[in-house]
Copies of this chain bind each other. A is one copy, B any other.
């Protein structure tokens, strides 16, 4: 069984876990705190990011893009499960566009800041969250929610009629933000209905059992009817 070096609240690790669960692939999870930059971790990934997947006999698969490519090539869906990367050229391009949006834009403008201020500073004992940064990240989150709600007003799933990797990527970020209590669901519009739908999938169950010691999940985190 492959092993995933991850952190519980890291959204890219969560995306990989969702993807593997959806494809029915078992994985052994090993938790790490990438921000500690421990030498043996930096030997594997000098960029000090997770996920890192170990899948013998392959060399370590480092980073979210490499892991997505590896899973698609080696653990493709079987039986009734559809691939999370559509065959159709238009839907495939839309999936990659939104994947990039989530991984880079949402990550840089929202999730990265909030994890740094709320989780990493606490874990590193390097001060309390900076209210100015939290305010900017929350304002940015409002704009992202508005965009995704606008998109989901005319589409069942993010990239179109079928669920794709873009849905799981956004759901992974939402789950991290929701754990920390950063999403005001009353203002989330269509994005709330979409998240309720994806949160009910069997693949989501493992995420909902996650806990970070000393940092309880928000009231809505496990609630499927939030």
Residues in A lying within 8 Å of B, measured CB to CB: 45-47, 58-66, 69-70, 73-74, 89-90, 92-97, 99-101, 103-105, 108, 147
Q: Which of B62, B90, B96 contacts A93 (CB under 8 A)? A: B62
Please determine whether B63 and A97 come into contact, CB atoms closer than 8 angstroms: yes
Interface majority SS (helix, strand, loop, mixed), chain A: helix
Q: A64-B100, A65-B100 are in contact. Are A46 and B147 (CB under 8 A)?
A: yes
Q: In the assembled complex, how far is the CB of residue A224 from the closest CB belonging to chain B, in whole angstroms? A: 30
User: Of all chain B residues, which has the CB nearest A150?
Assistant: B46
CA A89 to CA B73, docked complex, whole Å = 9
Instruction: Kindly state the separation between the CA atoms of A213 and B127 in the bound complex, as whole angstroms.
Output: 46
Tell me, in angstroms, the Cα distance from A136 to B21 when the chains sit together. 41
CA distance A44 to B95 in the complex (A): 15
Additional A-B contact list (12), CB under 8 Å, known A47-B105, A64-B100: A46-B147, A60-B93, A61-B97, A62-B93, A65-B65, A65-B96, A65-B97, A66-B92, A66-B94, A69-B93, A73-B92, A103-B104
